[in-house]
Amino acid sequence: MAQTRKTIAWIVGASSGIGAALALELARHDWRVALSGRRTEFLEEVHKRLPDPALGLVLPLDVLRLDTFEEAAERLWRAWGPPDVVFLNAGIYEPLRDLRIDPEEFRRVWEVNYMGVVNGLAVLVPRMAQAVEIRRRQIFVTASLAGFRGLPQAEAYGPTKAALINLAEALRGRLEQQGVEIRVIAPGFVATPMTARNRFPMPFLISAEDAARRIRLALDGHRFLVAFPRPMSLIVRSLRFFPDRLYFALLRRLGAGVRSSPPSR
Ligand SMILES: NC(=O)c1ccc[n+]([C@@H]2O[C@H](COP(=O)([O-])OP(=O)(O)OC[C@H]3O[C@@H](n4cnc5c(N)ncnc54)[C@H](OP(=O)(O)O)[C@@H]3O)[C@@H](O)[C@H]2O)c1
């Protein structure tokens, strides 16, 4: 009897945090997972933890380098064929702790978080559009609830996530005509190496495993925006409709970002 084809996910940013947890979650549900990121040894660790090594494929890449993205895609297509779902999940976070605005730091965050996704899309859009043998083709971009309104300390990070949401909205209709769905994941606070550096209380913090489970459960749905946890998502997204005066008064009240060192040169 012919073996039924296993569903394939390609996770870019799978070496730690949400991406690593998502790889394990999907593999436990019998998906095949291609694992990408720069740190090969971390990707191999994740691979080792899969319930069956045949369910994983390590494809190191740097999202800043288009050639490595293209090479990884080529290897995946040759090994397994096109994926059903791709997660463009790589990201970095640099909190602006004082008012020292370092353009290099802002550029680095922009390059990884935004241009890294653009590089991924450049490689994926033509390939996914041609993969007509796959019944449902999805590309997920990991943005953040921090992309919905300007938040103190997220001055370098938040705009990259806002831009990703805008980009996915803009692309959605024309990609749909090609049979490809682009969707956005917008988590609140998730306990990962990225947030381990935060020195403030993180409301509604969830584990990476919990985030991964929520993402897996959303895969069968059709919502453009997969935002969680729900209370945090409702609060942050409703802030968009607050008048500015009220929004800034609320931030002051919460003491967010007011204890800051003066700018220095
Ligand atoms: N944790 C949260 O509270 C939270 C909330 C909202 C959104 N997010 C978003 O969720 C995503 C995952 O973050 P996380 O919290 O799981 O953090 P994380 O554990 O630090 O994971 C970040 C991932 O991105 C990869 N990455 C970074 N730079 C890369 C590059 N140049 N090329 C390829 N891969 C690169 C890392 O792999 P290598 O270092 O091996 O390359 C790693 O796998 C990010 O987009 C983040 O912005 C996180």
**pLDDT: which is higher, 5 or 249:** 249
Helices (H), the chain: 17-28, 40-48, 66-79, 103-110, 116-130, 158-177, 208-218, 230-238, 244-253
Instruction: Report the SS3 class of residue 62.
Output: coil
**pLDDT grade for 200, boundaries at 50, 70 and 90:** confident
Which atom of ligand 1 approaches the CA of 145 most closely? Answer: 6
Q: What angle do CA 77, 117, 87 make, to 5 degrees?
A: 55
Q: Which range among 77-91, 207-221, 249-263 shows the weakest confidence by mean pLDDT? A: 249-263
User: Taking residues 93-104, what's their average pLDDT?
Assistant: 94
User: Taking residues 205-222, what's their average pLDDT?
Assistant: 98
Question: Is 157 a catalytic site residue?
Answer: yes
**Of 69, 192, 225, 228, which is best to mutate to test ligand 1, by the most ligand atoms within 8 angstroms of its C-beta?**
192
Q: What is the CA radius of gyration of the chain?
A: 19
In this predicted structure, what is the pLDDT of residue 143?
98
Which atom of ligand 1 approaches the CA of 185 most closely? Answer: 7
Task: For the chain, give the percent of residues with pLDDT over 70.
Answer: 95
Dihedral sign computed on CA atoms, order 121, 127, 129, 131: negative
pLDDT of 151 over the 90 cut = yes
* Beta-carbon contacts of residue 56 (< 8 Å; ≥ 6 apart): 23, 27, 32, 33, 34, 35, 46, 47, 50
User: Taking residues 212-218, what's their average pLDDT?
Assistant: 98
With a Cβ cut-off of 6 Å, ligand 1 is lined by 13-19, 37-39, 42, 61-64, 89-92, 112, 116, 142, 144, 187, 189-190, 192-195
In this predicted structure, what is the pLDDT of residue 1?
45
Write out pLDDT tens, residues 160-171. 999 999 999 999
In this predicted structure, what is the pLDDT of residue 4?
72
Class in CATH terms, 8-253: alpha beta
Tokens of 263: 């700018």
Q: Position of tokens 């390059």?
A: 111
Domain boundaries, the chain: 8-253
Contact 37, 14 (CB under 8 A): yes
What is the rounded (10 degree) CA torsion for 47, 48, 54, 59? Answer: 30
The mean predicted confidence, pLDDT, of the chain is 95
Dihedral sign computed on CA atoms, order 95, 97, 103, 104: negative
Q: Which amino acid type is present at position 176?
A: E
Residue 203: CB atoms within 10 A of its CB come to 12
**pLDDT grade for 259, boundaries at 50, 70 and 90:** low
Q: From atom 24 of ligand 1, which residue's Cα is the shortest distance away? A: 90
Which atom of ligand 1 approaches the CA of 113 most closely? Answer: 45
Q: From atom 41 of ligand 1, which residue's Cα is the shortest distance away? A: 38
Tokens of 145: 């609830």
Q: Which range among 78-82, 166-170, 251-255 shows the weakest confidence by mean pLDDT? A: 251-255
Which DSSP state fits 4? P
Asked if omega into 126 is within 30° of 0 (cis), the reply is: no
Q: Position of tokens 């922009």?
A: 110
**Residue 260: which region, alpha, beta or left (left: phi > 0; alpha: psi -120 to 50)?**
beta
**pLDDT: which is higher, 169 or 200:** 169
pLDDT of 57 over the 80 cut = yes
Report yes or no on whether pTM surpasses 0.75: yes
Q: How far away, in angstroms, is 16 Cα from ligand 1 center?
A: 7
In this predicted structure, what is the pLDDT of residue 5?
82
Q: From atom 8 of ligand 1, which residue's Cα is the shortest distance away? A: 144
In this predicted structure, what is the pLDDT of residue 2?
47
* Sequential DSSP letters for 221-256: S--SEEEESHHHHHHHHHGGGS-HHHHHHHHHHTTT
In this predicted structure, what is the pLDDT of residue 154?
95
Which atom of ligand 1 approaches the CA of 21 most closely? Answer: 16
Compute the distance between CA of residue 124 and CA of residue 69 in angstroms, rounded to an integer: 9
In this predicted structure, what is the pLDDT of residue 162?
98
Write out pLDDT tens, residues 10-44. 999 999 999 999 999 999 999 999 999 999 999 99
